[in-house]
Chains A and B, each alone.
Chain A
Amino acid sequence: MAPSKQELSLLLNPLVPEAVQHNNKTLTNLHSVTSFLLGLVAGILALQSAYGFAFYLSGTVLVSGVFHLLLISRSGGGAGVFFPGANGEIADIDERGFVHNSSRAVQRKGAWRDVWFGGGVMGEALSGFVLGWAGTAGVLH
């Protein structure tokens, strides 16, 4: 059986597990700190119920945007240079292993999803947000 596109991508251009781990850890650290901060601001602004969660979502989008702009775009290449995306599949690769892409750096399929939704945004970071939110709202108002 011919290898799938994802297997082919990993054969032609393998990933470094250590670097993947390091990048994910950096992103998770950033998100857990900033989500607590977002919680503090939401508490100061006395947001309630759905407004607070909407604030959290827009705040994480802001942080991910700044992260993307300052750390990823500035170092050349897209998110695929630093994040594996969908199991490391290369974007625009065909069945024979040729990449139909104009950019020089290797792009991984769905890597932007790691930057914008990864890093525990819907997990640990959210609990940090709720902690900061409830804490400051309780103390200040």
Chain B
Amino acid sequence: MGFFSRLITLFGLVLLGHAGFSAHEHTVLSSNARLTASPALPLDIVIEALVSLVIISLGLVLGAEKLKPVSWSVWAGQIEKEGGARNPYRRLEERYSFWDIRAKRKEFADWIRNQDVPAK
């Protein structure tokens, strides 16, 4: 999408530049003719400018950043689908649970007792 939209935009810009150059040439030529009223722009330049406008705006819209859903539910659903790597509450959701302090204390006491036995 990115390369394609850039190509479209570039093509439109070339068309626009050509239309501008043609308009400039037209003004210069008609000013040499010493006409009292400046003649209207030829139809092909007008059409070229308008077509280039449509093409460039198409390219710019296609190249715009992707929109994000604003509803919390949709946004959270997308994050869950991706595996939760972007979840801002991950730190809260993935915590150590409570320690079983009694089991740990007993383990430590057993270890101390085993250390003491061969010393005597």
A residues bordering B, Cβ < 8 Å?
13-16, 18-20, 22-23, 26, 29-30, 33-34, 37-38, 40-41, 44-46, 59, 62-63, 66-67, 70-72, 75, 81-84, 88, 105-106, 108, 136, 139-141
Q: Interface code B58-80, partner A: CB below 8 Å = 1, 0 otherwise?
A: 10111011011111111100000
User: Could you tell me if A19 and B75 are in contact, using CB atoms closer than 8 angstroms?
Assistant: yes
A63 to B69, CA, bound (A): 21
* 9 closest Cβ pairs, A-B complex: A19-B68, A14-B72, A82-B67, A140-B24, A16-B75, A41-B53, A26-B65, A44-B23, A44-B49
A41–B61 touching, CB < 8 Å = no
* Shortest distance from the beta carbon of A88 to any chain B beta carbon, whole Å: 8
> B16–A16 contact, CB under 8 A?
no
Q: Are A81 and B20 in contact (CB under 8 A)?
A: no
Give complex CA distance A62, B71 in Å. Answer: 27
Number of cross-chain contacts by CB at 8 Å: 106
| Size of the chain B interface, CB-CB below 8 angstroms | 32
Q: Is the interface of B mostly helix, strand, loop or mixed?
A: helix
Chain A, Cβ-Cβ closest to B22: A44
Are A38 and B53 CB-contacts (below 8 A) given A15-B70, A70-B62, A81-B69?
yes
A114–B60 CA distance with the chains assembled, in angstroms:
19
- Judging by beta carbons under 8 Å apart, are B70 and A45 in contact? no
Report the minimal beta-carbon distance from A42 to chain B, rounded to whole angstroms.
9
Asked if A81 and B27 make an inter-chain contact with CB atoms under 8 angstroms apart, the answer reads no
A84 to B27, CA, bound (A): 48
Task: Tell me the smallest distance from the CB of B71 to a CB of chain A, in Å.
Answer: 5
> Does B46 belong to the interface (CB within 8 Å)?
yes
Cβ B67 vs Cβ A26 within 8 A: yes
A15: chain B residues at CB < 8 Å are: 70-72
Task: Evaluate contact between A44 and B45: CB separation under 8 angstroms.
Answer: yes
For A81, give its contact among B41, B54, B71 (CB under 8 Å).
B71
Q: Are B74 and A81 in contact (CB under 8 A)?
A: yes
Complex interface: chain A residues within 8 A of B23 (CB): 44-46, 140-141
B20 / chain A contacts, CB cutoff of 8 Å: 40, 44, 136, 140
Q: Please give me the residue from chain B that is nearest to A40 by CB atom.
A: B16
**A18 vs B60: C-alpha distance when bound (angstroms):** 23
A71 x B61 contact (CB < 8 A) = yes
Residues of A contacting B54 in the complex (Cβ-Cβ under 8 angstroms): 62
**A29-B64, A45-B49, A141-B23 in contact; A63/B72 too (CB < 8 A)?**
no
